[in-house]
Chain A
């Protein structure tokens, strides 16, 4: 299938009954979602099962996808739900059902192109630092710095206000910086 065809058009084909087209969507998102799972669920056993469930649920729910809207946030949303379920099931890290970050309006911090400054560092060390951060900060850092998604897309995935994404990224970076300093890395 041509690479010019958008994800949305392929999803539409799947909705119209072309089940094989779903394989193309899988090809396009396997790497991204595997990276997301590997970094967000590092150290968890159920990673591969969770990833498989993401694609199975995406297929089962594809008729609920609105092809007029971007496909990427939709499948990332499924992945987010599935991965958070893994965290909840294993109870190794507390996941609060209520997040005070979503309570108040926050000024939106400007998006910066500092992705490279983090990616250029020793990835294994950064990964080790990220794993020590609270999941709600870890997830936005992964989506922003590794998946290179913008605030709006991340907000659509997490179902939180855009300003909350900005706040979490800011706080997550601060926490990451402290942890990296402990590992003698300058960010």
Chain B
């Protein structure tokens, strides 16, 4: 064993002395640590962007209200939710976890705890981004044609979930019909009947932002199945009409 040891030591010392083995400079490790931290931050930002975009998509299309619109509403939600974005967000969570586990603060924790930490950061970050309304700003830019890269993505959200969900502002309402202006400016006339469910049996008034779960018929008329008020900071705040911003229209109290 002693002979083996001295041989190893001799080989290593010889490699050092001959210059075959060189000490890497400190900046190499500083740079590597910096790049790793930067990568971690960039992936976190990307995750927060996508997670908040998921929430924005759900609000903008009105899908966020469909799980409380009965069995069919829940089915529409499952079928139409932005699963591609959800899948992308999960991939970013995994990448973030892999990067984070290079740091002691993460690898010292069980995997589930560090994953829970990432989800918590994503939820809090998404909430914060919702509060500063980043996606609303980007959406407005997209409507103005100022976002060539992601503009189409935002603009597709304005038409709701075709054939199933229509978000919009009530511009007229009668006992049998509801006229709704969608975020993309299109106007739909929706039939109300005795099977239409209103939240707490209250009907919306003109100027209210609502989400309607519809059932299309063969004659292309639209029947309202469920009607719910749109979520706060929902889908319309930046749409400009000849009356001004939709959000400036005072909502009527629910009757």
Counting chain A CB atoms within 10 Å of each CB, which of B4, B25, B108 scores highest? B108
A140 at the interface (CB under 8 A from B): no
* Chain A 151-169 per-residue mask, 1 if CB under 8 angstroms from chain B, else 0: 0000110011111100000
Q: Would you call A63 an interface residue if the criterion is a C-beta within 8 Å of the partner chain's C-beta atoms?
A: yes
For residue A1, CB closer than 8 A to chain B, the reply is no
Known: A62-B23, A63-B26. Contact between A162 and B108, CB under 8 A? Answer: yes
Point out the residues of chain A lying under 8 angstroms from B104, CB to CB: 156
- B72 CB–A CB distance under 8 Å: no
Known A23-B9, A51-B8; contact A161-B108, beta-carbon cutoff 8 A: yes
- Pairwise interchain contact B25-A63, C-beta atoms closer than 8 A: yes
> How far, in Å, is A15 (CB) from chain B's closest CB?
8
Q: Is the CB of A19 within 8 A of B16?
A: yes
**How long is the Cα–Cα vector from A155 to B108 in the complex, in angstroms?**
8
* Most A-side CB within 10 Å, residue of B1, B13, B23, B113: B23
A31 to B8, CA, bound (A): 11
Contact bitstring B12-31, A, C-beta under 8 A = 1, else 0: 11011100011111101100
Cβ-closest chain A residue relative to B17: A19
CB of A48 within 8 A of CB of B23, answer no
Q: Does B149 contact A (CB under 8 A)?
A: no
Residue pair B15, A26 in contact (C-beta under 8 Å): no
Chain B contributes a number of interface residues (CB within 8 A of A) equal to 30
Tell me which of B1, B7, B16, B29 contacts A22 (CB under 8 A): B16
Q: Which chain A residues in 93-149 approach chain B with CB under 8 Å?
A: 102-106
Contact A59 B16 (CB under 8 A): yes
Which residues of A lie under 8 Å from residue B5 when comparing CB positions? 30-31, 34
Whether the pair A63, B107 counts as a contact (CB closer than 8 A) is no
Name the interface residues of B23-78: CB closer than 8 Å to any CB of A: 23-26, 28-29, 32
In the assembled complex, B111 has its CB within 8 A of some CB on chain A: yes
Say yes or no for A43: interface residue by CB 8 A criterion.
Answer: no
Contacts of B7 in A (CB 8 A): 48
Partner of B113 from the list A19, A22, A34, A105 (CB cut-off 8 Å) is A105
B9 near A64 with CB under 8 A, answer no
Q: Evaluate whether A59 and B108 lie within 8 angstroms (CB atoms) in the complex, with A48-B4, A52-B8 already known.
A: no
Do A60 and B12 touch across chains, with their CB atoms under 8 A apart?
no
Question: Complex formed: what's the CA distance from A145 to B243 in Å?
Answer: 80
Query: In chain B, residues 96-142, which have Cβ atoms closer than 8 Å to a Cβ of chain A?
Result: 101, 104, 107-113
Cβ contact within 8 Å between B110 and A163: yes
Partner of B9, one of A30, A159, A160, A161: A30
A88 at the interface (CB under 8 A from B): no
- Report whether A48 and B8 are in contact in the complex, using a CB–CB cutoff of 8 Å: yes
* CB proximity of A11 to chain B, nearest CB, Å: 12
| CB <8 Å contact, A63 and B29 | yes
Complex contact B24–A159 (CB within 8 A):
no
Cβ contact within 8 Å between B21 and A103? no
C-alpha spacing A64/B31, complex, angstroms: 11
Complex Cα distance, B33 from A61, in Å, reads: 13
* Closest residue on chain A to residue B33 by CB atoms: A64
Assess the A60–B29 pair: CB atoms within 8 A. no
Of residues 1 through 38 on chain A, the ones whose CB sits less than 8 Å from some CB of chain B are 14-15, 19, 22-23, 26-27, 30-31, 34
20 A/B residue pairs, CB under 8 Å, sorted by A: A14-B23, A19-B16, A19-B17, A22-B13, A26-B9, A26-B12, A30-B9, A48-B4, A48-B7, A60-B21, A60-B23, A61-B24, A63-B25, A64-B24, A64-B29, A102-B110, A104-B110, A105-B112, A159-B101, A161-B108
Question: Could you tell me which B residues sit within 8 Å of A by CB distance?
Answer: 1, 4-5, 7-9, 11-13, 15-17, 21-26, 28-29, 32, 101, 104, 107-113
4 nearest A-B pairs in the assembled complex, by CB-CB distance:
A64-B29, A63-B26, A159-B107, A105-B110
